Structure 1
């Protein structure tokens, strides 16, 4: 007899709040391989990390070749240094690109070992995010670019063992980055909440994450030195990561991967530009508006104390609340406002829709799209009126 069950996995130990970076002094090990972005080096956090590890008698080898949207070439460079390090600890320090690079190194290191017939122990993996956005410090997801296309890699072994959420690491983030990464948190939480794989456990995390973003992201945008708001947004990011690593994501991410990779727009901003059109599609607002996603969006409206006497009213008000939040954060209304030529966009439409259909995030969208549906959503995101 086969028993159908749901499961909730939380592999990472999470340490949080200001100055939690000092936990590194208490680690056990001998050699660390640190994957850090150049910003964390310039701001002194890389040296601080090395110093804390030194206090634990752990030596460090450093790779700072991280680039935005890391590709296979960057991972290969890091992998070569990692193989020379003989490290029993790997530390990812920086934004989503640094953590994705470290995950890519771990992923391909294991593949190489299997080919060579080696059987070495996996190093302890510690992630220290410098942006509130990806939730990558607790997820088994990594996005690596190959031949200009973003590839989503999912493997349980990619989830860090320890996540350190020290909001002092994000206090120097520029406003536009704080906005992009903060909206990315919101998208993670919303897509986890409406995923067909959602559970009571993931819903609780997603609901809290969404509430924290609505209450605190604007305060961070106004003043990135607001320590309390920073803590809340960073915690929201981690909670959303815990949720979506168990539920998967949806076509907001699939389309953002395709669009961002094509036009070199940041992942968070790409998500922001796709979000509302995708929610309108999922909620079937031009039809019965009585779908599963409609009901879930209406529940989020209630959590934000918005009118939700019917499912349609709740979904409409939640979607509108997201639109208003984006406007207060200075996010463009549509893709056209970015200055992208309509002819260039049209020429890329078919390929972007095809890529999004094949994306690993598409199967867990609450409504199964066709390629034609994705084309219509992209056209609406550009600035055209479209009925789904």
Structure 2
């Protein structure tokens, strides 16, 4: 038996932030990265809270790839302040940090017999990429081990999400491209996941179409409100798809790259995507009979609804790979890890360790093709290559 979760209530459109002044609460803890404070972006949130006469505190110790230590500090802040609403403001790192804070607060409360009630959780993304505002995923980094852990629990899903286009208009071009490719990877992996369903398929398909139609426009002109709005929505829609269908090897490998050699998540996904599609499709072993559940068939379906050449599965898969590469080239994204200026003292050892980490990642469990260690190592070698 499968299930489809549609928990978050999403507020979107013009002046979506106005929802905050309608909250019926007394105290709000805002989790935001330092840039949100320095740039005064957080003021857009506090202005609404002031209108509602809601007392607030700001936790701004958040850093990229949130480590356990930061989340512990956030939990301590929450236990001390006792908010009845927790607001996450920022990209994936801020929202994941807030997820971790809310999640672990329940254990601290039980240990201390604290009277703090579980706060209402509102996520407000400032990038169009992670979809974290509607997912039950949380990525936490163990810096000592150089490993990213994917926590998956329905209690990690925000209660509400607020999508306001004003928060993404000034996002830099590089961030727009990397987060946009992250959206595409979410949609494609959800569409071929072994845990997909008719419901997740519909969302994944819509997000993929929106990325190919609007990402380049948002990248080339950040003031294009239609493109920005559509990409913000696409990110959320893809998040709804993969929180139900899960992801695959692409994300397992990307998490390994982020944890070990600190390649930004969206960039890592883009580097890997063409190679993982080719591997999952297993074109060399295609049989004459069409298998409607195979990855090659699913990738071909994507090519068809994108209007790409797809008279057979081989052509369909190749068309999708080509389309991804063309889009990445137009977005000025790197084509191999060596272009990311990372240093590896012993590449073979690094690749072996990365591969083990990727295989053990929770996302890899729903990959359409079951990988072996040698398969993942070969993929990493290709992505590291200068070819």
Query: Which TM-score applies when normalising by structure 1?
Result: 0.95
- 2:363 aligned with 1:338, yes or no? no
In structure 2, how many angstroms separate the alpha carbons of the residues matched to 1:322 and 1:344? 30
Distance 1:344 1:133, change over 3 A: farther
Q: Quote how far apart the aligned CAs of 1:26 are.
A: 0.7
- 2:120 aligned with 1:124, yes or no? yes
85-94 or 285-294, larger mean C-alpha shift: 285-294
User: Where do 1:145-224 residues align within 5 Å?
Assistant: 145-146=141-142, 147=144, 148-224=146-222
In structure 2, how many angstroms separate the alpha carbons of the residues matched to 1:65 and 1:159? 22
Asked whether the equivalents of residues 336 and 342 of structure 1 are also in contact (C-alpha less than 8 Å), the reply is: no
Q: What 5-or-longer segments of structure 2 have no aligned partner?
A: none
Partner of 2:47: 51
Partner of 2:366: 364
Per-residue Cα deviation, 1:179-236 (whole angstroms, up to 9, x for no partner):
1111000111111000011111101100010010001110111111111100000000
In structure 2, how many angstroms separate the alpha carbons of the residues matched to 1:191 and 1:356? 15
SS in 2 for 1:15: strand
Q: Quote how far apart the aligned CAs of 1:343 are.
A: 4.7
Per-residue Cα deviation, 1:4-23 (whole angstroms, up to 9, x for no partner):
x3211010001112321111
In structure 1, how many angstroms separate the alpha carbons of the residues matched to 2:115 and 2:248? 36
Partner of 2:7: 11
- 2:103 aligned with 1:107, yes or no? yes
Distance 1:383 1:123, change over 3 A: same
In structure 1, how many angstroms separate the alpha carbons of the residues matched to 2:7 and 2:352? 39
Partner of 1:260: 258
Q: Quote how far apart the aligned CAs of 1:119 are.
A: 6.9
Asked whether the equivalents of residues 192 and 203 of structure 1 are also in contact (C-alpha less than 8 Å), the reply is: yes
SS in 2 for 1:143: strand
Q: 2:286 aligns with which of 263, 288, 291?
A: 288
SS in 1 for 2:283: coil
In structure 1, how many angstroms separate the alpha carbons of the residues matched to 2:183 and 2:315? 24
- 2:353 aligned with 1:351, yes or no? yes
Q: Quote how far apart the aligned CAs of 1:118 are.
A: 5.2
Q: 2:129 aligns with which of 125, 128, 133?
A: 133
Q: 1:324 aligns with which of 308, 318, 326?
A: 326
Per-residue Cα deviation, 1:143-202 (whole angstroms, up to 9, x for no partner):
010132111111101101110011110111111111111100011111100001111110
Q: Quote how far apart the aligned CAs of 1:37 are.
A: 1.3
Q: Quote how far apart the aligned CAs of 1:114 are.
A: 3.3
Q: Quote how far apart the aligned CAs of 1:383 are.
A: 2.0
In structure 2, how many angstroms separate the alpha carbons of the residues matched to 1:314 and 1:18? 39
In structure 1, how many angstroms separate the alpha carbons of the residues matched to 2:8 and 2:335? 37
SS in 2 for 1:90: strand
285-294 or 7-16, larger mean C-alpha shift: 285-294
In structure 2, how many angstroms separate the alpha carbons of the residues matched to 1:38 and 1:19? 24
In structure 2, how many angstroms separate the alpha carbons of the residues matched to 1:73 and 1:216? 38
In structure 2, how many angstroms separate the alpha carbons of the residues matched to 1:75 and 1:362? 25
SS in 2 for 1:181: helix
Give RMSD over aligned pairs: 1.5
In structure 2, how many angstroms separate the alpha carbons of the residues matched to 1:114 and 1:250? 35
- 2:81 aligned with 1:79, yes or no? no
Query: Which TM-score applies when normalising by structure 2?
Result: 0.95
